[in-house]
Chain A
Amino acid sequence: MVIDKSLLTGSTTLLILKLLNESDMYGYQMIEELSKKSKNVFELKAGTLYPLLHSLEQKDFLTSYEKTMDNSRVRKYYKITKKGQKYLHEKTEEWRTYSSAVNSILGGVSFAGI
C-alpha cells in the first residue's frame, strides 16, 4: 500500500497544532481529544505522535514544560508558539483552498465560504 507520507504527516501536524492552539496538552490527552473530536475517525497511534511532537518542538512550533501531578508523576505538556500559530494559520488556509477545489470537482459542497 502506498501512502503519501508528506500528506499524512502534514495533516496530522495541522490537527495537533489546532488542538494545542486551544489549550496546552500532554501526549495522551491529545490522542483522546483527537479521537473524541473526530468521532473516532482519527485514531492516532502514540508511536506516531511522539516523534512528531518532538520534531515540531525542534522546529520551534511547540515548546514543552513539565508539571508534577498529584500522584507525583511528571507530565510533559506542549504549548504552541507564535511561529506554530502562524504556520497553523497558513496551513489551514492552504487546506481550505485545497479541500474546496477537490469538492468543486467531485461535485460536493464547497466549505470555502463558511
Chain B
Amino acid sequence: MQESEKINDYLEIVRQQIRWKKAHLSVIEEIRNHITDQRDAFIDDGHDEDTATEMAIAEMGDPVIVGEQLDRTHRSRPDWPMLIMTIFLLLLGLSIQFLVGQDIPNGKELFTKQVVWTALAILVLLTAYYLDFTIIGKYPKIIFLGLSILAIGSFLFTQGNALYSIYPVLLFPTAFAGFIYSMRSKGYVGIILCGASLFAPACISRLVPSLTFYFLLCISCLIVLTAAIIKGWFGVNKLYALSIIYIPTFFVWAIPYFTNFELNGDKRLQIVLNPLSEFTGSEFIKTIVKQLLANSQFLGKGLPVNAPVSGYGNYTGLPILPEAHTDFLLTYLIYRFGWIVLIVLLAIFVIFFKYALNICMRQHSVLGFLSSLAITLTITIECILYLSWNFGFMIFTPLSLPLLSYGGRALIVNIFLIGLLLSVYRTGNLFKDNASIAVRKYNRLICFENGKIILNIKD
C-alpha cells in the first residue's frame, strides 16, 4: 500500500492549494484516476509498481503548482448577471412602490413596510445563496412535511386572510424535485409515489382555496416529472411512464369541460377565488382594466377614463383601479407611464428567464437540473399568470409579479427561490448523483435502529 500512500500524499498537497472545499472531491478524484492510469501504463511497459508510481507522480508535475492552477479555475463564483438583475429588480420594485404610493391611500405607510421587507429579502437571498441546495434531495420527506405544516399553520394563523398561506406552498414544486430525486430507479411505483406526494399540496390549494396555485403546482410538477422520465431517472420505458402521468392528468383537467358540472363550478370558483368580485364584481374590474389599457399611450400618462360607477374609490391619480400596488401593478404602470414600461419589463424578465434556463441547462446532476427547473418554472408561471390577469384574462388570481408587486410574503418566497437557484449555479456541477445516494443511506437526518430514533445532526 506504499504506492497508494505516495499518491495520497501527492493529492493531499494538491488539495491544500484549492481553497474552495466543495471542489475538492470531484477534482481530486479525477487527478487520482489520471495518476492510476499513468502508473498502469508504466507497469505495462515493464516497470515495477513502485517505480511506475513514482514516474506517474513525476509526470503530473509539482503538486503545489498543479494545485494553484486548479485553485485559480475553481473559485466559488456567483452568477453575476443573475445576481445583479435580482438586486436591480428589488430596487426597481421599491421605486415602483414609491411611485404607486403617491396614488393610493396609505401609500407612504405601505412603502415603508415594503422597504423593511426588501431589507429582509436581501438577508434571505444571501442565506439561500449559501445554503446547500442538495438538502432538498437528501431530506425530501422532512421538507414536504415541514412545508405542509408551514402552509397549514399560516392558513390557521392568518385569520381571515387565507390567501397568505399560499406563499409558503410556492416552495412545493422545488421540494417535489427533491422528492423525484429520492425515487431513483424505483420504476413505475416511484412515478406513482411522486404523483401521490402531490396530494398534500393539492389539498392545501383546495383548502385556501387557490385555483392559481393548483394550476401552478400541476403544470410545474408535470414538467419536472416529464424531464425526470425523459432523463431515464426511474429506469422504466419512457413512453409507458409518460402515459401513466399524462392520461390521468388529461382526464382530470378535461372532463369538467365536457360536462355541465363545469359551468357551475367555474362560476362558484370565480366568486370564491376573486376577492374583488365580492364587492365590485369581476366583470366590473375587467371593464376598468380594458378601459385603462385602451386609453394608455405609448409614452406618458393615459387619456382620461370614465369610471363605470361614479364616485368609486378614493385614489387621487387613478381613481378607479383598486389593488394597483398588488394585483394590477402592470395595468397601473402601463396607464400611468405608457406601454414602454411593459416593453422594458418584459425585456428584463425575458433576459432573467434566459439566464435561469442557462443555469438549468448547465447542470450535470439530475438533482441540480430538476431543482433549478422547478424554481425557474415556479417564477415563470407566476409571471405569466400575473400578465394575463393584468390584461383582463381573469381566471387565475395572480400571486405576485416577482420582486415588483407589493407584498412581503411573496417577496420573501420568490427571493428565497432565486437565492436557491444561484446556489445551484454555484455548487450544482460539483454535486454527483451517484455519490450522494450512497452517502444518503448512512447520513440520514433521522434513522430508526434497534428500536431507537437516532438524530444525525452532523452533516
Contact = CB atoms under 8 A, between A and B. Distances in A.
Interface residues of B, number: 26
Contacts of A48: 61, 69
A61 B319 CA distance: 55
Interface stretch (B27-35, B163-171, B175-183, B202-210): B27-35
A84 B27 CA distance: 22
Contact of A45 (B27, B60, B70, B362): B60
A64 B26 CA distance: 12
A73 B33 contact: yes
A40 to B, nearest CB: 14
Contacts of B31: 46, 50
A18 interface: no
How big is chain A's contact interface, by range?
Answer: 20 to 34
B34 A27 contact: yes
A107 to B, nearest CB: 38
Nearest to A65: B364
A28 B66 contact: no
A47 B33 contact: no
A10 to B, nearest CB: 16
A13 to B, nearest CB: 13
Nearest to B435: A74
Contacts of B60: 45-47
B65 interface: yes
B37 A28 contact: yes
Contact of B66 (A26, A47, A55, A66): A47
Given A64-B364, A73-B33, A76-B30, A46 B73 contact: no
A91 interface: no
A38 interface: no
Interface in A74-110: 74-76
A61 to B, nearest CB: 13
A51 B36 CA distance: 18
Given A46-B34, A46-B66, A51-B66, 12 more contacts: A26-B33, A27-B33, A28-B37, A46-B31, A46-B59, A47-B60, A47-B62, A55-B73, A60-B362, A73-B36, A75-B33, A76-B33
Contacts of A75: 33
A54 B362 contact: no
Chain B interface helix/strand/loop/mixed: helix
Given A58-B73, A63-B364, A47 B65 contact: yes
B432 interface: yes
Q: Which of A32, A46, A66 lies at the interface centre, i.e. has the most chain B CB atoms within 10 A of its CB?
A: A46
Contacts of B30: 27, 50, 76
A28 B38 contact: yes
Contacts of B238: none
B184 to A, nearest CB: 15
Interface in B11-68: 26-27, 29-31, 33-34, 36-38, 41, 59-62, 65-66
A54 B74 contact: yes
A55 to B, nearest CB: 5
Contacts of A64: 364
B440 interface: no
A112 to B, nearest CB: 35
B113 interface: no
Given A51-B72, A58-B73, A28 B34 contact: yes
9 contacts: A27-B33, A45-B59, A46-B61, A47-B60, A47-B62, A47-B65, A51-B73, A63-B364, A66-B432
B73 A47 contact: no
Contact of B70 (A32, A51, A65, A66): A51
Contacts of A51: 66, 69-70, 72-73
A54 B70 contact: yes
Contacts of A54: 27, 70, 73-74
Contacts of B66: 46-47, 50-51
A68 to B, nearest CB: 8
Contacts of B26: 76
Contacts of B34: 27-28, 46, 50
B69 A47 contact: yes
A60 B358 CA distance: 11
A63 B60 CA distance: 23
Nearest to B69: A51
